[in-house]
Structures are given as C-alpha cells and as structure tokens.
Structure 1
Amino acid sequence: MPEVKPLYLPLPAKIEDIIVENSQVKTFVLSFTDQEYGRSFTFEPGQFMMLSVPHHGEAPISIASSPAQSGTLRLSVRRAGKLTTALLELEKGAVVGLRGPYGKAFAMREFGHKDLLFVAGGIGLAPLRSVIESCLTERERYGEITILFGSRTPSDLAFRQDIDNWRRQPGVRCLLTVDQGEPGWQENIGLVTTLFDEARISPAHTALVCGPPLMIRAVLAELSRRGLRDENIITTMERHMKCGVGVCRHCHLDDKLVCVDGPVFNLAQLRNMEVMELA
C-alpha cells in the first residue's frame, strides 16, 4: 500500500511536457517522481493543487486534466506574479512541488444524461476542461455539450488544441468570441453572453461557469433571466488561498472557506453570501 503523505508536504513532480497556450498561459503536464504514489493518485474535476517553485512560493492551481488520464496531471498557469513568472520560465525536466488535491469538486453524478453548458473566459476554461474531458471519456452518460469560450483577442485565445478536438466530437458545440477582433477572425465579437442566442440555451440546461468576476456576474444574471434554476447554475470562486486545507482562513467568503467549502458553488448557495459576482 502506498505511503500516506503528510498534509503540508509538497511532493516532487517532474514537468513532462509544456503546451504553450498563448503568450501568457502555459499548460504543464506533470508526473510525480514517486511513481507508486503517482499510480495511486486520484482527484475529481473541480479540485485544485497547491503548486510550489523553490524560492518563489506556492499557489493554488486548478486541475485541468481528466481523472481518466492516469499517470500525469495537467495544470494551466497564467502569468500573474512572482511564482507564475518563475514557473513559466521552467523547461521540460524541471521539478516542482505539488500537494493536494483540495476543495469540493463538481458533482459529476448529478450531470448524468443532462445537456451541459460550459461558459468560460480566459484561463477560466482550465477547471472546466477537466469536466469536459471527463464527459467525453464516458460520452454515453451525458447529453449534448455546448461550450462558449471568450477571450480578449484572437491572439489571446488559449486551449486551441482542445477546441479543435472538441469541435470534432459528436454532440459537442463549441462557440468562440473575442472582445476585439483581428484580421482574419471570422467568429463572434462581443461578450460571451452574445453567444447565448446561437447556443439555444434553455431552462433544461445545467450550466458550469468560470472566468473573471465581472464575466461571471454577467453570465449568472443572464442564465437566471433565461430560466435556469439556481441549483443548475454552477461556478467556481477565485479567492486567494494559502494553506488549502481550511486552517489559515485566508480564503474566507462570509462563513465559508473557498478551499474547503468550494471552490465549486451553485447560484443558490451564492445568493446567501456577499460576493462580488452578485453585486
């Protein structure tokens, strides 16, 4: 039986591959150097890892891969500060620290045989990618899948390999939009909510939303206006997390701790909290 690892001890993980998503985002494919532990490692879509780089600190990063992809773990990282800048400068073969997984996951069993709507902006597609890939692994268990993805410009559009793959899958629609177009761009220009009519959203959909707070606010309001039940509108809350296990309380959200009670919340839960996404 594999050894149970201490709660706060980062375990070494090797960078097996690096996917350049755009000028500010890279996806790191990682494997634990302890191969026995790596084979037994499990997680659920929506959970996150605490990632550390020696001498540069530690930060929570959403898991972007499917649990079915055993042996490796995908973490997508956007340049945002000292740690992420140092991480984006690493090359294949480098070793980082990982501990986790932490947080409440998406309730995948509740999505069975339902039509799913994914609405994401920027790096917000990363945690939803874990759910999408999990659904595609067991395609017969889920209804139609609609993915709406917004970016600032076409050059900033991340996860292009995934988008191309999803568009080839039966029963999957993937619509894109940008805030500002560029020469050659032939898809939508505007907020991600401008895709809702084309996506034919109905109250029967279950919606999963992730992105910048202002985008989440607009999307939650529009989905609610279109008749989706609060319990079927699900999002992830980005708050600064430090310990990942509810001890430091740095990520408190009213009486909730994002690292323990979240990061996944539905709209019914959010209505009982004071959050900027509903302001």
Structure 2
Amino acid sequence: MLYAFGAGEVPISMSGSPADDDSYAHTIRSHGLATQALARLKPGEVIGVRGPFGCGWPLEAAAGREILIIAGGLGLAPLRPLVYSLLGGCQRAARVRLFYGARRPQELLYRRELERWESEHGKGNLELTVTVDQADSGWRGRVGVITQPLEAAHIDGQCTVAFLCGPEVMMRFCIQTLLGKGVPESAIYLSMERNMKCATGLCGHCQWGPNFVCKDGPVFRYGSVQSWFNLRAL
C-alpha cells in the first residue's frame, strides 16, 4: 500500500526483481488522485509504505513444469517479478512461455525489456508472444486478442502451470482456452484486483464472495474460486 501524503493511499503491486535487495519497484498508472500525486513526486521526497500484504505467485508450483505466463495490459506489472525469478533460476521450470497482449502498441509495458528478453532468451528458456488489439502504422508485430495465439499453441495440459493477470474478461476467455487444452483447474493461478482500503481484511471493501482480495489474494488458485470468478460483475 503506497500513501501520498495529503492525497490518499492506493494498492500497487511490486513489479521489480525479487533479487534486488536495495530497492522496491512499483509500476503506477497515473489515474486517480493518489496515483497522480505519487507520479508528481521527485527523487528524495517521502511516501508512505505498508506491507507487502496478501499472497504472491506460488513459485514452487513451477518446479519441473511447463509455465504459461499470460498478461493483459497492466497485468504484466505484477507478473514481471515471476518472470525475473524464472529467468534467474530461482525455480527451475522445463519451459517458460509468456503471452502478453495490450489494446494498442503504446500501452505495452516495458517494451525495451520485452525486446531484451526476446533477444537474450528467445531461443532458450523463454518464448515470448506479444500482440495488440489495434495496430498503428509503426507496429510490425502480431495483431489480435491474446486468446488467438494461446489457442494456436501446443500445450501439454497435464504438465503445465499457468499464471494470469489482466482484465477479468481476458482472463475468463484465456482460462476457458486452457481448460479446453487439458490444463487442470488446480494448475491455474490468477491475480484479482479490487478496491482495497485496510489491506488486512477488516474493512470489507475488497470482499469477493467469502474471500478478501487483500488478505486471501490477490493471487488465487482458479479451482478454489471458480464459482465466484464465473459470476460476472461480482
């Protein structure tokens, strides 16, 4: 939880490398009062920090498995530490594939880093697929929703673990595709976003069915929240 003094507090995922002991990295979209105030801060100014709270990505689930990382838009930010961990050898996976989609090219996060990942790891332990819904004149990559390359990919469902973060409608369709390819519900993990306040499960702002996203999440195993996730607008 990041606090801009005089403006308010907002939940922001960590998006830096877990191996970095000297600093914490956050990726912030300047949208509301608190995030706009955070964006105006200059080096050396003070912010409030509480946490981290909740549950992170279960890295141990990646051991020896084929890993699918599926991100939509800003959803790549909380998945970025997972990519760092897997590329850094913190947990040995048999294969890592990253599917990343955004509405437009200018909305892609970490474009230079994506290019570096592709050049350094593209023929090794990371396969990268990037797509945009709407291309501009300078875009030379894939065009279409992220489910298209996911549907076309060969996936050994029984040997695969999937991690997802992005708009809920995107995650819903991607999960349907994964289930259709034989990936078990217990091997799919997703990160939810709700309006958090206290971050300790007391205020009830982020209650989602019987769960509190701040305390029980934000990362959930799909099999344990399927009945709630499939209720739209909940």
What is the TM-score when the length of structure 1 is the normalising length? 0.78
Deviations 1:117-175 (A, max 9, x none): 11101110011101110111216712211111111111221111321222112211111
The one-letter code sitting in structure 2 at the alignment partner of 1:231 is S
Q: How far did 1:276 drift? A: 4.6
How many matched pairs? 230
Counterparts of 1:48-63 in structure 2 under 5 Å? Answer: 50-63=1-14
* Structure 1: segments with no counterpart, 5+ residues: 1-49
The alignment status of 1:253 with 2:212, answered yes or no, reads no
Which residue is equivalent to 2:16? 65
Corresponding residue SS for 2:190: strand
Which residue is equivalent to 2:30? 79
Which residue is equivalent to 1:265? 220
Which residue is equivalent to 2:82? 131
Counterparts of 1:1-279 in structure 2 under 5 Å? Answer: 50-138=1-89, 141-167=92-118, 168-169=120-121, 170-203=124-157, 204-273=159-228, 275-276=230-231
- Separation in 2, partners of 1:206, 1:71: 31
* Structure 2: segments with no counterpart, 5+ residues: none
Structure number with the higher strand fraction is: 1
Deviations 1:92-137 (A, max 9, x none): 2222111101001221112111111111011100111011101112
Which residue is equivalent to 1:43? none
Cα distance, 1:137–1:241 mapped onto 2, change above 3 Å: same
Corresponding residue SS for 1:74: coil
Q: How far did 1:65 drift? A: 1.7
The one-letter code sitting in structure 2 at the alignment partner of 1:105 is G
- Separation in 2, partners of 1:80, 1:201: 37
Identity rate, percent: 34
- Separation in 2, partners of 1:217, 1:144: 24
What is the TM-score when the length of structure 2 is the normalising length? 0.92
Contact 1:217 1:277 in 2 (8 A): no
The one-letter code sitting in structure 2 at the alignment partner of 1:256 is N
Runs of 4+ in 1 over 3 A off after TM superposition: 274-279
Cα distance, 1:219–1:90 mapped onto 2, change above 3 Å: same
How big is the alpha-carbon RMSD for the aligned residues of Structure 1 and Structure 2? 1.8
The one-letter code sitting in structure 1 at the alignment partner of 2:59 is M
Structure number with the higher helix fraction is: 2
Corresponding residue SS for 1:61: coil
The one-letter code sitting in structure 2 at the alignment partner of 1:65 is G
Corresponding residue SS for 1:176: strand
Moved more, 85-94 or 222-231: 85-94
